[in-house]
Structure 1
Amino acid sequence: MTIDFLWNGRARPTRGPKPTLSLERIADAGIAIADAEGLDAVAMQRVAADLGFTKMALYRYVAGKAELVALMVERAIGEPSATDTTDWRTALKEWAHQLLAAHLRHTWTLEATLGPRPIGPNELGWMEHALSILPTTGLTGSERLDTIAVLAGQVRAIAQQAMVSRHPEGDITAKISDQLRRHSDRFPALVATMAAAATDGEHDQAFEFGLDRILDGLDTLITQRGS
């Protein structure tokens, strides 16, 4: 796969007419389709048509769908914002919240960032930013990479749940409650727990709860290393 354009852009020709398209326009057209209809709807032909060009014209800028999706991911997730703290725990938490927000703005990026694919500077920039927070914690290189993998996994899990819950048919809580009304005698612990949850006023805290538990464990490990 040719991905130099993700890093260096397209060189402007010194002769002939100026390019009528840009990588930014192409990415934005693909993003609009994916946001509205999902990643499967994105195709070179469709993007070209939406821009008012032929598919062959698009190939002058992007080699194929894999490169097109990589370009879209770069544009969609952007770069992480600077964290306004020197405390590693607070900084990592801010990073995780930023990444979750990026995925929720464009939920198709969850699928697009799985498996072997062209990777651009923005995607690597998220890793760079998180890893730059950790060098003074006493964690090994492998542990720092694992930390980012675990945090990113928490982000992806919650983003996927949120994506499903946006659709009425995806409301798993309503489905569970419906079944419990019919079969409460078979699941007493679940009935009691859901009843307690209904009164404690702390719904939809799975992201914060999981994030804090991950960081608690990391804090314990760092403290043990320091002593």
Structure 2
Amino acid sequence: MSADHSPAGEPARMLELLWGTASPPSRGPKPALSLAKIVDAAVQIADAEGLAALSMRRVAEELGFTTMSLYRYVSGKEDLLELMQDAAAAPPPDVDLDSMPDDWRGAARWWATHNIEMFRRHPWFMDIPLSGPPMGPNQVRWMDRLLGALAGTGLSPGEKMGVLTLLSTWALSAGRLELSIMEGASRTGVEPDDWDPLYGQLLSKVVEAEEFPALAEILTAGIFSGPEPDGDEGNTADQPGDPEGAEFSDDLTFGLEVILDGVEALIARRMTTSGRDSASKP
């Protein structure tokens, strides 16, 4: 494969690796080693020990090959990380993409919460800097499912992509926040579920109503330690179309539902505009 130094050369080379269209190595122990085995071993190491433990040498040792053997299939760790991200996006055996709800909102909720579940299975995914839009077959398949769920909403193709980007950003941000809080438990000694009441107690000692009136109102209402507020928010596990047994905090639920409310308002606006346009035609 000849080197391509054009701006699109590197993404094009990565696309070949992700989709398996690159020319196979002409040398090396072909029957015993493959790109799929290399990626699978790397994912297992990262799942068990995190990205800090991952190196080309470590993967080679796990597979029983020399490090140079790996370089016949993948040019380096950066390529391997991108391949790992797409491998992590593969639906687990208990997830059927065809089980996604038929209504756009249920489908969007299902799609977004399954992204969170993927981050929980592979937390190292969020430690890899994004180098561009997703190009691998697994990530592209997830994209296609959400875009398909938005068919018939009246949104333009660009707006559908905007909704996908918005939900992807929410899931990634929520996943990173959740992981940071969980990792912080080992440093602070406070478990994630214990933070709200403790936070309310600590702030109550220093927040004066005259200086911080808005926050004092929140504390007085017992938001951090009292019953859940009334409304549609709540655990997303109670929402139709969510991963079975999934548990999400009220904050995650609230944020996702507000986003979906906004998308619903946009869809209603597009439907109204479409109706007016149709009525104005002779």
Shorter chain as denominator, the TM-score bin is 0.7 to 0.9
Matched, 1:183 2:206: yes
CA deviation profile, 1:44-67 (whole Å, cap 9, x unmatched): 112112222111011122121122
Counterpart of 1:192 in structure 2 is: 220
Q: Is the Cα–Cα contact under 8 Å of residues 83 and 95 in structure 1 kept in the other structure?
A: no
Q: TM-score, normalised by structure 2?
A: 0.70
- Give the Cα–Cα distance (whole angstroms) in 2 for the partners of residues 143 and 162 of structure 1: 28
Say if 2:47 and 2:123, in contact at 8 Å, map to a contact too: yes
What displacement does 1:25 show?
A: 2.2
Give the whole-Å Cα distance in 2 for the aligned partners of 1:16 and 1:45: 17
Cα distance between partner residues in 1 of 2:202 and 2:28: 68
Residue 206 of structure 1 corresponds to which residue in structure 2?
251
Matched, 1:126 2:142: yes
Structure 2 gap ranges (5+): 1-9, 229-233, 236-248, 273-282
Alignment pair present for 1:81 and 2:86 = no
Partner of 1:224: 269
SS of equivalent residue, structure 2 residue 225 = helix
Are residues 15 and 181 of structure 1, via their aligned partners in 2, closer, same or farther at CA, if it must alter by over 3 Å? closer
Q: Where do 1:1-227 residues align within 5 Å? A: 1=10, 2-3=13-14, 4-8=16-20, 18-79=30-91, 81-112=97-128, 114-116=130-132, 119-167=135-183, 168=185, 169=187, 173=195, 176-177=199-200, 179-180=202-203, 182-185=205-208, 187=212, 188-193=216-221, 195-201=222-228, 204-227=249-272
2: distance between equivalents of 1:149 and 1:117?
A: 10
* Contact 2:24-2:73 at 8 Å conserved across structures: no
Q: For the pair shown, which has the larger CA radius of gyration, 1 or 2?
A: 2
> In 2, are the aligned partners of 1:44 and 1:65 still within 8 Å (CA)?
yes
What's the offset of the Cα at 1:151? 0.8
1 or 2 for the larger relative contact order (CA 8 Å, sep ≥6)? Answer: 1
Q: What root-mean-square deviation, in Å, do the aligned CA atoms of Structure 1 and Structure 2 show?
A: 2.9
- Deviation, structure 1 residue 91: 1.0
Q: 1:105 to 1:70 in 2, by over 3 A?
A: same
| Kept in 2: contact 1:70–1:119 (CA 8 A) | no
4+ aligned runs moved over 4 Å, structure 1: 9-18
Distance 1:61 1:46, change over 3 A: same
TM-score (norm 1): 0.85
Could you say if the C-alpha distance between residues 64 and 119 of structure 1 is closer, same or farther in structure 2, counting changes exceeding 3 Å? farther
| Runs of 5+ consecutive residues of structure 1 not aligned to the other structure | none
The aligned amino acid for 1:192 is T
- More helix per residue: 1
Contact 2:56 2:70 in 1 (8 A): yes
Identity of aligned residues (%): 34
**How far has the Cα of 1:119 moved from its partner?**
3.1
